[in-house]
Amino acid sequence: MVRIRLRRQGAKKQPTYRIVVADSESPRDGRFIEVIGFYNPRTDPETFQVNVERAAYWLSVGAQPTEAVARLLAKTEAFQMAEALKEQAKASQAA
């Protein structure tokens, strides 16, 4: 199963994270398929940037986000875009 999750970066006690698409059996900081964004919880307010189009694509093909990533993606329009992509795929297959 493909997951969208956080990959830890940064020095000791100074974490930053990359939002990656990876196989669920890969280690947390191991092999990944694609980097789609980053997240920095140490700034005030916390900063994150996500390539919404790529996140929507991966969600539309069945990638499952972790709870933390789902919370971040809920602040963007990734879930709505993923639903639209799924509907387009169904419409193109029906035609």
pLDDT in the model for residue 47: 92
Residue 36: count of CB within 10 angstroms of its CB? 25
Contacts of 1 (CB under 8 A, 6+ apart): 23, 24, 64
β-pairing verdict for 2-9 and 64-65: parallel
- pLDDT value at residue 95: 66
Instruction: Report the alpha-carbon distance of residue 5 to residue 1 in Å, rounded.
Output: 12
| pLDDT at 30 > cutoff 90 | no
- Dihedral, 73, 79, 81, 83 alpha carbons, nearest 10: 160
Q: For residue 70, give its domain range.
A: 2-94
pTM, two decimal places: 0.84
Residue 68, classed as helix, strand or coil, is helix
Number of domains in the chain: 1
Residue 75 belongs to domain with CATH number:
3.30.1320.10
Write the pLDDT tens digit of every residue in 36-95. 999 999 999 889 999 988 988 898 888 999 999 999 988 888 888 888 888 888 888 776
